[in-house]
Structure formats: structure tokens, C-alpha cells
């Protein structure tokens, strides 16, 4: 409770709103008591005076001080708005909760009534109510309550279906929690908070609406007065004394703002409590970078033949996101190289940072991500330290990306052909017609039947497999030298998967492009790749030839071994349970000391828990980041390793 | 979403769309009928004799009786009701109790002024709010520039709290009375549109730009925007061609009732600027208790709002290629 209050009080907007409301409440309580008589007593000696030290806003036609009248009107204005909102909320919430009892049909019918009712603005409903009941404060309140009812009914409907169908309530019911306790402990708190937020904001809106009615002359009638009434009286005299209309206007805006600000900060507070709002980068301080100095052996790792200039060279890449409690570091100190034409797989559990790494390399990290690297070179050009936009410009169409979910990766509002054609149109400086022809040809290349017709269609008219092929066509159309495929087959059926993989392989073979294929599925990678990077908790833990995956005893890192062992195949003994890796991947929002896998590793020692291993060349021809590689009888005989380990 | 959706899929979509159209139109007609009946009953049930209260206590009894006879108020309620419905089908919205003149004629004179005002203001709102919302979203995406976000939310909250009529009053005071820069009142040429349109659109623009920013932030996180960035398109193309159409649908869905609200807001703005539209006539009829005009105009307003909502829904369902709207209604 204390933490909640202190969190709310940290919002400057909430503090201001509460102070403003405090002023209003004081005025509403005391102003009529103190100035009530003076505000209504006519004074023939001071009729229609302009503003002066004595009458800050001047006086009206009957000689009454407008400032005092404005302050006194606070009570009626506030009471009317609060009453109307509460009546509307009570009726609306009751109405909205009822259909839930009567089943789905009643709910649909009710929803359609509510949405039609909602469409009618306050003013029109109010006018008709005025006709029926005659103008006056009560009428205005009834009218406003009537227009507020449907929005509260809808709120109740969504809330009751959300809470009623929720898992925590089902769980409580199963555990035999009493009905009363179910209601007070689970239902009420979940309904109360959004309702309070809505009531607060509605009072603000109600104040404005009521003042509008009074302004039109259909709300509060003389001799009573609220702010709207005073405004309309002041507007009548606007040529004599403009401030007479401004005074009450300022209070209307002040009060409306106080309520809407309070409602908003309450809502923001609830949202943040649910999701946790990320801190601003300024409060977080600079993004963490890889601690390791540049001269360590991994920078000169021989992961691709040294005689060849690598197409892509990544050294010490770290990615950080602002989180609620500090930087979250999904990728830390990742280094690798890709040779021209090489196909490399990246494998790891979800959350291991494999996609984030590759998206950062392609300069497509989400906004807000802090990407740092000691060295980032592509095709002989240095991208180190460039902004994503600048680096993206350098990359141009030389990096093609195949995204994971083809339905969301294609723009639903644009024709598929257009989405392909814009690449040559922008980069190739070709005409519209020519670009379109290229798009059709590219679609035809990936075996989309009737490509000319299909190019005119929208993504939702394509099947999942076709969309994925269209994405591959899109990554190809700029003739890239590197293709980054992010889980290209995850969203597809097994049969379609094979086709898409074959297509990817063919495209790479034909164009000679290198490729990085990200997947959590070792089997998919085994079909395509020559080499595989194994990632765990944001780091590369092993970098090996793909053939080694078939012989787990030659793999060095315990995690890679566990990963390959957890894959069932046709030879797996069905009578024993499948191998799983015990434990959970670590929480990346906290700094990890030592090897991230240590907590789940059977071979972990004190060293593993204190010192972070970096990938170093290993005897299996790749690299491994482990203090105790498991591929040899005596693991600690490697000379370099003993030094560090001792 | 089977591979064979090409031809049969689009045809089935067409039928579904037709069904949606019919269902929506049907719902609108039912709503209209309810409103007509309510308006009819309200007029007959308003306290006392509407003719007497409209013509005043001093009016001669024979005049009142003649007017009652002319309005058919002496017939049984059910006969009056069907006469009224029949009249509506002929486009007869009734007559003024006081002057006996046709409400239909009144509407035909005044409707254009109101529609122009609300329509122009609506366009201004969209043209201002959507780009502003998108622009601020681009600047503040990924939790960057918290300062801009705070200022934007604060300023728009403040503007949205200013009711249309109050802004109108301020505009009149500043530009028309103090600066003598613009016409104060009436509809007298292009310059006279400026202040009323501003008064009607500013606070709506503030609220819509907040909605637009939230929608744009969501859209900018969508996968297809990343796809567009992966093509290294110029920034304007990513934002205007790829993000804008998608955020527009979402913004319109939420801001869909805006146009209806602006038509209601025009009642107030017309009052402030002496704009010769329906709103002036409506308020005038209420204060003079001319329930004949009130009834007719209330129906016109209701019809406009219902039709506008129907149109917004239809446009949205056409814009939204994912056709999710068809499922939900």
C-alpha cells in the first residue's frame, strides 16, 4: 500500500491535480457560506462596473461582483457534475452487469443497443430531456446522467466478462474460496479501479457539458447560477467588459482539467503497475557495453578461414533496453564472422537474444534499444558507431531480411506487388512499370502461381506459405550479399516448412549470397547451414561446424550438448521420458556474474559462478565459451585455459 | 486462409460485406424509429398544453383551439402517431407551433450552414491531429524524449479541457472585439468561417491527436514497419506509406463518434458566432417552447448522427483489409 501511494505521489501530474481539487473543494464548501449573500445581493450603486481593485472581474447588470459569484458558483457546478456522474455510473454499471446473467444472445443485443445509444452526444439528449422536464438544474443533471449511462454500461460489460472469465477467479472457485470472499477479494478490486478512473474523468467531462447546457440557457435557470450561466451572462455583456466572460471560463477549464488530470494519472498509474513502465534512458545512465578489452583472443578468432576477408564481422556487440528497474541486456558481448556465401545458423531458446542480435546487425533493432559494438564491418565498410539510420543507408539493399511471421511482417494495407516493387523503385531508380515487372518476376521466382495476378492482391488473400515465399522474394529483389532469415519457418506447417527451406537454400546457391538463419529448431538449421552459433542468455556459448551436432560427444559446451540431447528423433527410446534441461534461463534484467548457464549446469564449479567465460578457439575447430568443455576426458589440460582457471 | 481463397474468397467476402451493410442499415432504421417515437411522445407528454405554452397565456382561446386543430392535436394519440409517420415518409417534419411554418423548409435553409461548419471542422481536425499524433509518436517512440511526451500530454489535456463555446467566446473577444481582425458573427464569406471552425475543431483536435499518438506508437511497433525499415526506404515512405494508413483506421475507429460530437458542438458554436445553422434554430425553439420545431430538428440531428456513424463504419470496414470489423458486428 505504501509503495503504491509513493509511486502515485512520484507523478507530478497527480500532485498538481490533487492540489487543484483541494482548492475546488475548499471553495465549494466555504465560498457560499462566506460570500453567498454578497454574491446575490443587488447593489444599485455599482451596476456594470469594469474591472477595478475592488471588483477584480467587474460587476454585472445588477451590481453583483462577478468574481464572488464565480467562486460561489463552484458548489453548484461541482455538485451537479458529481451527481450526474454518480447517477449515470450506478445505472450504467447495473445495466451493464445484467446481460452477463442472461447469456450470450442478450449480451450481443445489449452491446448493439449500447453502441447506438453511445453515438448520441450529450447535448442532443439533454435538449430532448429539457423539452420533457422543462429547463433547470435537475433536468440538466438527469440529461447528463442519461448520456453517461451507456459508457458505464459498456465498461461494466467488458469488466464483468474480463473478470468473470478470468483464470484467477476460476482458480479461486476451484480452491473453494467462499462466494463473498471471491467478490471482495477478486472481483471488486479488479472492477473498482477502472471504474474509479472512469468516474473521475467523467466528472471532468460532465462539468464541461453542464456548463455548455447552462451557457445555452437550457441548464441552470436564474436566480440560480453555475459557471456556464455566469459565462452566458458575461458573454451578453462582452462588448462592455470582456473579462466578465473570461473569469467563469477560467474556472470551468481549471476544474475540468483537475478531474481529467487526476483520472489520467490514476489510469497511468494502474497501467504502470500492471506492465511496469520502463525508465527513461536519462535516468538509467549510459547503456552498458561489453567489459572485455579489445585485445582478447576472441577478436582474432579463426571461425572462418582467415585467408578470406569476412563479409560480416561483429565484435563485442551488446544490446540493451530500458526496463523498469534498469537496463535489460538481451545481448552481451557477441562476436562472430560470416564469410561470403557462407550459411550460418543461430540457435537458442526463446529469449536467448538470437533474433535481437541479428536484427541489431541489420540495423533494425526496435526504437529505444541501445546497440553498441567494438567493431562492426560489412563487406569492407566500417559501420562501428554509426546511427542505425546511417548504417542502414550504408547497407542499402545488400542485406535482405526474411521475417518470422509473414502475416504481420507484410503491410496489410498495401498490395503485395507494391511492397516488393518499392525496393527497386527506391534503390534501383527504375520506373514504376519496370519495378512492378521486377516484383512479378520475383514472385514468379519463388513459385507463386499466377504471379501477375497475385501481385495485385493484399497479404490477407495469400496463404501462410505463399506469404512466406513472398517475403523471401522481397528479401531477394535487391540482390543482397547477405540474407538474414529470422525464424523463417516457425509459423508454418511441416510440409510447407520443407518447401520454404528448399527455396531459401536454392536462392542462396543461385545468388551466392551468405545467409544467417535464426531458429530455435536445430533440425531446420541442419538442413541449411554449414556452421551454427549457439546462444544462451544473450551470449554466444559455442560456434561449431553443423556436422558436429550429429555427434554430441564431440560438442564442447554443456548447454549445446543438452540442447541436442533434448531433441527427439526416430531412434529416441519412447519408453523413457524426453530429456529436458532443468531450471530456467536467467533473468536478463539483473546483472549475471559468471557463466549464465552455471545454475543449470551439472559441471559448474566456483570459477563458473564468478568469472564469465568468453568464446575462445577450441580443438573441434570452432569456439566455445566454457571453463569446463565436456568433449575431452581431461577438460582442463588446454594450456591457455589452465592459466585462467588457476 | 486456405491457399484457394483467391476467387471464392473475395466473392464470399463480398457477400459478407453486403450482409454487414444490411445489418447495419437495419439497426440504424430501428434506432431511427425508436427516436421518432420518443420525439413524438415527448412532444405530447410535455407538461401542459404545448400550444398554450408556446403561444403564451395571453393568446385568445379560439386561436389556441384553431392551432390545435391545425396540428391535429385533438385527434386520438394513435391517429396522430400514424399521421406523423406518414408525414415523415413524405418528408414533412411538422410545423412550427408558433408560426405554423414548415420545419422541412427551415431545415432546407439552415442545414447547409451547419453541415459546412461541422464538415470543415472535421477535416481540419483530421488534417491536424493525425499528422501531429504521428509526428509526436515518431519523436517519442521507444521511451525516448520523455520531455516532449510530458509537454505534449500536458498541453493537449489543457486544450481538450476548453469547451467549444468558451474558446468561441475567447476568440470573439480577442480577434473580433479587440483586434477587429475577423467578422464577429454571421456567415458572410470565407473569412467568417475561420473563427467558428477554429472554435469547433481545436479541442477535438487535441483529443484526437492524443489518440492518434497512442495508435501511431502501436503501429510503429508493428512488424510491417520493421519490414519497411529493412527495405531502407526513405523515412517519409516508412511513415506515410506504411504506418499512416494503418494508424488511420485505428484512429478513426476510436474517433468515429467525433463527427457526431462535432455536429452537437456546432449547436454551441453557432450560438456564439450567430451562425445561421440548425443549432441556432434549435436553441431558439427550445427557449421559445416551439416544440414543433424542436421535434423536427431533433429528428434531423438524430438522423445526421446515425447516418454519419453508419458511413464511418462502412468506410472503416472498407479500409480495414483485415476485415476484422465484419466479424465483430
Residue-level pLDDT at A569: 59
**Rounded to 5 degrees, what are φ and ψ at A515?**
-145, 145
Residue-level pLDDT at A14: 85
Mutate to test the interface with B, among A413, A424, A487 (most CBs of B within 10 A): A413
- Chain A residues in contact with B237 by the CB 8 A cut-off are 422, 426
* B305·A124 Cβ contact <8 A: yes
Mean pLDDT score, A368-395: 88
Does the pLDDT of residue A646 top 50, yes or no? no
More confident residue, A575 or A117: A117
* B158·A410 Cβ contact <8 A: no
- Residue whose entry in the numeric block shows the C-alpha cell 566456483: A606
DSSP tag of A638: -
- Assess contact for A398 and A336: CB atoms under 8 A: no
What proportion of chain A, given as a percentage, has pLDDT over 70? 87
How far apart are alpha carbons A43 and A36 in whole angstroms? 14
- Residue whose entry in the numeric block shows the C-alpha cell 445581493: A41
Does the pLDDT of residue A455 top 50, yes or no? yes
Beta pairing class for A375-378 and A381-382? antiparallel
Reported as half-sphere exposure (CB side, CA atoms, 13 A), residue A272 has a value of 18
Please give the residue of chain B at the shortest CA–CA distance from A423.
B231
* A281·B263 Cβ contact <8 A: no
Reported as half-sphere exposure (CB side, CA atoms, 13 A), residue A117 has a value of 17
The grid cell for A589 is 534484467
The 10 Å CB-count burial string (b at 16+, else e) for B23-35 is: ebeebbeebbeeb
How far apart are alpha carbons A593 and A134 in whole angstroms? 75
- Chain A residues in contact with B313 by the CB 8 A cut-off are none
The packing angle between helices B6-45 and A122-133, to 10°, is 30
Beta pairing class for A623-624 and A326-338? unpaired
What proportion of chain A, given as a percentage, has pLDDT over 90? 23
pLDDT digits (tens, 9 = 90+) for A23-48: 999 999 998 888 888 877 777 777 77
**Residues in CB range of A410: below 8 A, 6 or more apart:** A416, A419, A459, A467, A470, A471, B224, B227
Collapsing DSSP to helix, strand or coil, B102 comes out as: strand
* B305·A121 Cβ contact <8 A: yes
- Is residue A635 within 8 angstroms of chain B, CB to CB? no
How far apart are alpha carbons B30 and A311 in whole angstroms? 68
Query: What does the H/E/C string look like for A553-584?
Result: HHCCCHHHHHHHHCCCCCCCCCCCCCCCCCCC
Residue-level pLDDT at A301: 44
Residue-level pLDDT at A470: 92
Mutate to test the interface with A, among B154, B206, B232 (most CBs of A within 10 A): B232
The grid cell for B114 is 451547419
Reported as half-sphere exposure (CB side, CA atoms, 13 A), residue A88 has a value of 31
Rg of chain A in Å (alpha carbons): 34
Residue-level pLDDT at A577: 57
How far apart are alpha carbons A113 and B34 in whole angstroms? 11
By Cβ distance, the residue of A120, A280, A393 closest to B143 is A280
pLDDT digits (tens, 9 = 90+) for A53-107: 777 777 877 778 888 888 999 999 999 999 999 999 999 888 887 766 666 677 7
Any idea what the Cα angle at residue A24 is, between residues A19 and A26, rounded to 5°? 95
Does the pLDDT of residue A481 top 80, yes or no? yes
A556-565, A605-614, B181-190, B306-315: which has the minimum mean pLDDT? Answer: B181-190
Residue-level pLDDT at B4: 40
How far CA B94 is from CA of A201, B103, B297, in Å, comes to 40, 6, 10
Does the pLDDT of residue A297 top 70, yes or no? no
Collapsing DSSP to helix, strand or coil, A49 comes out as: coil
Does the pLDDT of residue A467 top 60, yes or no? yes
Please give the residue of chain A at the shortest CA–CA distance from B9.
A461
Mean pLDDT score, A285-310: 56
- What's the complex ipTM? 0.82
How far apart are alpha carbons B38 and A299 in whole angstroms? 81
**Residues in CB range of A445: below 8 A, 6 or more apart:** A473, A476
How far apart are alpha carbons B111 and B109 in whole angstroms? 6
> Residue ranges of the alpha helices (H) in B46-102?
50-55, 61-71, 77-89
CA-closest candidate to residue A564, choices A618, A630, A628: A630
- Chain B residues in contact with A253 by the CB 8 A cut-off are 158, 161-162, 166
- Chain A residues in contact with B272 by the CB 8 A cut-off are 235
Does the pLDDT of residue A636 top 60, yes or no? no
CA-closest candidate to residue B267, choices B93, B167, B117, B126: B117
- Chain B residues in contact with A13 by the CB 8 A cut-off are 154
Residue-level pLDDT at A336: 93
Mean pLDDT score, B270-282: 90
- Chain B residues in contact with A260 by the CB 8 A cut-off are 157, 160-161
Mutate to test the interface with B, among A409, A425, A458, A473 (most CBs of B within 10 A): A409
More confident residue, B326 or A347: A347
- Which A residues, 194 through 223, put their C-beta within 8 Å of a C-beta on chain B? 204, 208, 211-212, 215-218
Does the pLDDT of residue B278 top 50, yes or no? yes
The grid cell for A534 is 549457439
Residue-level pLDDT at B106: 92
How far CA A463 is from CA of A21, A411, A632, in Å, comes to 57, 15, 49
- Residue whose entry in the numeric block shows the C-alpha cell 509459423: A491
A17-21, A149-153, B189-193: which has the minimum mean pLDDT? Answer: B189-193
**Rounded to 5 degrees, what are φ and ψ at A492?**
-110, 160
Does the pLDDT of residue A461 top 60, yes or no? yes
A249-263, A282-296, A441-455: which has the minimum mean pLDDT? Answer: A282-296
How far apart are alpha carbons A157 and A98 in whole angstroms? 8
- How many residues are listed for chain B in this entry? 329
Does the pLDDT of residue A379 top 60, yes or no? yes
pLDDT digits (tens, 9 = 90+) for B25-61: 888 888 888 888 888 887 777 656 677 777 777 778 8
How far apart are alpha carbons A337 and A637 in whole angstroms? 28
Output the pTM of the full model: 0.81
Query: Is the bond preceding A223 in cis, omega lying within 30 degrees of 0?
Result: yes
Shortest Cα–Cα distance, A462 to chain B (Å)? 7
The 10 Å CB-count burial string (b at 16+, else e) for A303-323 is: bbeeeeebbbbbbbbbbbbbb
- Chain B residues in contact with A216 by the CB 8 A cut-off are 267-268, 271, 283
* A474·B45 Cβ contact <8 A: no
- Residue whose entry in the numeric block shows the C-alpha cell 519523436: B139
CA-closest candidate to residue A351, choices A641, A90, A4, A589: A589
Residue-level pLDDT at A290: 63
Shortest Cα–Cα distance, B149 to chain A (Å)? 11
How far CA A373 is from CA of A319, A336, A354, A414, A538, in Å, comes to 9, 12, 16, 36, 14
How far apart are alpha carbons A357 and B227 in whole angstroms? 16
Does the pLDDT of residue A165 top 70, yes or no? no
Residue-level pLDDT at B112: 92
- Is residue A15 within 8 angstroms of chain B, CB to CB? no
A297-311, A469-483, B61-75, B207-221: which has the minimum mean pLDDT? Answer: A297-311
Query: Which helix (H) or strand (E) covers residue B159, if one does?
Result: helix B146-160
Quick one: CA torsion of B100, B101, B107, B112, rounded to 10 degrees?
Answer: -140
* A121·B245 Cβ contact <8 A: no
Rg of chain B in Å (alpha carbons): 25
- Assess contact for A624 and A543: CB atoms under 8 A: yes
Please give the residue of chain A at the shortest CA–CA distance from B263.
A121
The grid cell for B51 is 400550444
Highest mean pLDDT among A163-177, A521-535, A594-608, B123-137: B123-137
* B170·A249 Cβ contact <8 A: yes
Collapsing DSSP to helix, strand or coil, A525 comes out as: helix
Residue-level pLDDT at A640: 41
Any idea what the Cα angle at residue B144 is, between residues B143 and B145, rounded to 5°? 125
Mean pLDDT of chain A: 82
Mean pLDDT score, B198-220: 90
Residue-level pLDDT at A412: 86
- Chain B residues in contact with A362 by the CB 8 A cut-off are 230
Amino acid at each position: 500500500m505504501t509503495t503504491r501511494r509513493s509511486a502515485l505521489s512520484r507523478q507530478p501530474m497527480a500532485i498538481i491535480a490533487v492540489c487543484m481539487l483541494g482548492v475546488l473543494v475548499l471553495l465549494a464548501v466555504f465560498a457560499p457560506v462566506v460570500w453567498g449573500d454578497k454574491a446575490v445581493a443587488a447593489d444599485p450603486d455599482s451596476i456594470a462596473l469594469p474591472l477595478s481593485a475592488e471588483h477584480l472581474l467587474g460587476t454585472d447588470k445588477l451590481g453583483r461582483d462577478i468574481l464572488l459569484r464565480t467562486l460561489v458558483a463552484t458548489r453548484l457546478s461541482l455538485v451537479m457534475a458529481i451527481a450526474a456522474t454518480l447517477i449515470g455510473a450506478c445505472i450504467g454499471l447495473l445495466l451493464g452487469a445484467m446481460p452477463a446473467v442472461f447469456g450470450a444472445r442478450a449480451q450481443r443485443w445489449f452491446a448493439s443497443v449500447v453502441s447506438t445509444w453511445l453515438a448520441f452526444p450529450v447535448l442532443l439528449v439533454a435538449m430532448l430531456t429539457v423539452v420533457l422536464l422543462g429547463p433547470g438544474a435537475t433536468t440538466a443533471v438527469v440529461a447528463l446522467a442519461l448520456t453517461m449511462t451507456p459508457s458505464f454500461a459498456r465498461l461494466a460489460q467488458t469488466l464483468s466478462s474480463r473478470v468473470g472469465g478470468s483464470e484467477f477467479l476460476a482458480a479461486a472457485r476451484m480452491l473453494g474460496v467462499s462466494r463473498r470472499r471471491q467478490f471482495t477479494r477478486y472481483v471488486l478490486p479488479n472492477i473498482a479501479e477502472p471504474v474509479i478512473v472512469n468516474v473521475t474523468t467523467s466528472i471532468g467531462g460532465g462539468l464541461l457539458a453542464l456548463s455548455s447546457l447552462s451557457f445555452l440557457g437550457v441548464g441552470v435557470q436564474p436566480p440560480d447560477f453555475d459557471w456556464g450561466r455566469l459565462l452566458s451572462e458575461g458573454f451578453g455583456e462582452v462588448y462592455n467588459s470582456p473579462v466578465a466572460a473570461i473569469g467563469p471560463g477560467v474556472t470551468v477549464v481549471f476544474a475540468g482539467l483537475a478531474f481529467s488530470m487526476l483520472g489520467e494519472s490514476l489510469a497511468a498509474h494502474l497501467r504502470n503497475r500492471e506492465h511496469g513502465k520502463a525508465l527513461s534512458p536519462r535516468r538509467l545512465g549510459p547503456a552498458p557495453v561489453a567489459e572485455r578489452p579489445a585485445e582478447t583472443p576472441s577478436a582474432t578468432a579463426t571461425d572462418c578461414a582467415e585467408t578470406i576477408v569476412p563479409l560480416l564481422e561483429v565484435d563485442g556487440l551488446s544490446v540493451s533496453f530500458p526496463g523498469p528497474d534498469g537496463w535489460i541486456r538481451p545481448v552481451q558481448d557477441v562476436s562472430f564472422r560470416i564469410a561470403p556465401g557462407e550459411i550460418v545458423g543461430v540457435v537458442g531458446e526463446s529469449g536467448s537474444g538470437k533474433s535481437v542480435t541479428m536484427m541489431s546487425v541489420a540495423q533494425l533493432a526496435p526504437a529505444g534499444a541501445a546497440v553498441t559494438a567494438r567493431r562492426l564491418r560489412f563487406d569492407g565498410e566500417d559501420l562501428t558507431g554509426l546511427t542505425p539510420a546511417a548504417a542502414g543507408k550504408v547497407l542499402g539493399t545488400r542485406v535482405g531480411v526474411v521475417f518470422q511471421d509473414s502475416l504481420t511482417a507484410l503491410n496489410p494495407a498495401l498490395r503485395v506487388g507494391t511492397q516488393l516493387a518499392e525496393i527497386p523503385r527506391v534503390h534501383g531508380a527504375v520506373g514504376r512499370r519496370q519495378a512492378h515487372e521486377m516484383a512479378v518476376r520475383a514472385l514468379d521466382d519463388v513459385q507463386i502461381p499466377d504471379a501477375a495476378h497475385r501481385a495485385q492482391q493484399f497479404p490477407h488473400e495469400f496463404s501462410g506459405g505463399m506469404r512466406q515465399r513472398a517475403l523471401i522474394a522481397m528479401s531477394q529483389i535487391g540482390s543482397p550479399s547477405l540474407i538474414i532469415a529470422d525464424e523463417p519457418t516457425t509459423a508454418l506447417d511441416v510440409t510447407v516448412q520443407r518447401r520454404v527451406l528448399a527455396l531459401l537454400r536454392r536462392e542462396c546457391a543461385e545468388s551466392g549470397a551468405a545467409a544467417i538463419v535464426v531458429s530455435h529448431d536445430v533440425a531446420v538449421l541442419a538442413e541449411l547451414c554449414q556452421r551454427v552459433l549457439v546462444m544462451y542468455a544473450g551470449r554466444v556459448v559455442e560456434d561449431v561446424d553443423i556436422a558436429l551436432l550429429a555427434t554430441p560427444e564431440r560438442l564442447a559446451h554443456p548447454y549445446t550438448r543438452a540442447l541436442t540431447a533434448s531433441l527427439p528423433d526416430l531412434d529416441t527410446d519412447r519408453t523413457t521420458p524426453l530429456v529436458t534441461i532443468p531450471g530456467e534461463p536467467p533473468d536478463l534484467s539483473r546483472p549475471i556474474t559468471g557463466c549464465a548457464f552455471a545454475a543449470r549446469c551439472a559441471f559448474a564449479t566456483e570459477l563458473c559462478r564468478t568469472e564469465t567465460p568468453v568464446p575462445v578457439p577450441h580443438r573441434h575447430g570452432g569456439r566455445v565459451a566454457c571453463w569446463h568443455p565436456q568433449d575431452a576426458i581431461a577438460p582442463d589440460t588446454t594450456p591457455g585455459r589452465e592459466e585462467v582457471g588457476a | 486462409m486456405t491457399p484457394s481463397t483467391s476467387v471464392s474468397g473475395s466473392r464470399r467476402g463480398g457477400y459478407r460485406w453486403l450482409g454487414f451493410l444490411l445489418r447495419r442499415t437495419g439497426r440504424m432504421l430501428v434506432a431511427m424509429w425508436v427516436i421518432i417515437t420518443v420525439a413524438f411522445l415527448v412532444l405530447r407528454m410535455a407538461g401542459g398544453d404545448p400550444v398554450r405554452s408556446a403561444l403564451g397565456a395571453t393568446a385568445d382561446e379560439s386561436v389556441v383551439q384553431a392551432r390545435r386543430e391545425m396540428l391535429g392535436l385533438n385527434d386520438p394519440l394513435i391517429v396522430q402517431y400514424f399521421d406523423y409517420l406518414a408525414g415523415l415518409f413524405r418528408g414533412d417534419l411538422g410545423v412550427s407551433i408558433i408560426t405554423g411554418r414548415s420545419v422541412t423548409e427551415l431545415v432546407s435553409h439552415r442545414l447547409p450552414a451547419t453541415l459546412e461548419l461541422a464538415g470543415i471542422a472535421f477535416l481540419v481536425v483530421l488534417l491536424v491531429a493525425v499528422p501531429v499524433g504521428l509526428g509526436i509518436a515518431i519523436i517519442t517512440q521507444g521511451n525516448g524524449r520523455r520531455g516532449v511526451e510530458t509537454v505534449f500530454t500536458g498541453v493537449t489535456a489543457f486544450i481538450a479541457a476548453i469547451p467549444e463555446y468558451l474558446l468561441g467566446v475567447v476568440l470573439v473577444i480577442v480577434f473580433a472585439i479587440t483586434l477587429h481582425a475577423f467578422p464577429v458573427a454571421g456567415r458572410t464569406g470565407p473569412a467568417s468561417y475561420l473563427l467558428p471552425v477554429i472554435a469547433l475543431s481545436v479541442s477535438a483536435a487535441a483529443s484526437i491527436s492524443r489518440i492518434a499518438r497512442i495508435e501511431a506508437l502501436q503501429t510503429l511497433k508493428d512488424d510491417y514497419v520493421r519490414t519497411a525499415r529493412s527495405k531502407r526506404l526513405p523515412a517519409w515512405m516508412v511513415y506515410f506509406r506504411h504506418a499512416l494508413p494503418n494508424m488511420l483506421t485505428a484512429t478513426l475507429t476510436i474517433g468515429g463518434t467525433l463527427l457526431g460530437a462535432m455536429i452537437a458542438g456546432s449547436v454551441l458554436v453557432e450560438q456564439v458566432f450567430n451562425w445561421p445553422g440548425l443549432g441556432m434554430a434549435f436553441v431558439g425553439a427550445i427557449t421559445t417552447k416551439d416544440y414543433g420545431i424542436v421535434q423536427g430538428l431533433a429528428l434531423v440531428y438524430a438522423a445526421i448522427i446515425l447516418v454519419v456513424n453508419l458511413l464511418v463504419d462502412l468506410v472503416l470496414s472498407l479500409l480495414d483489409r483485415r476485415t476484422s470489423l465484419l466479424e465483430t458486428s
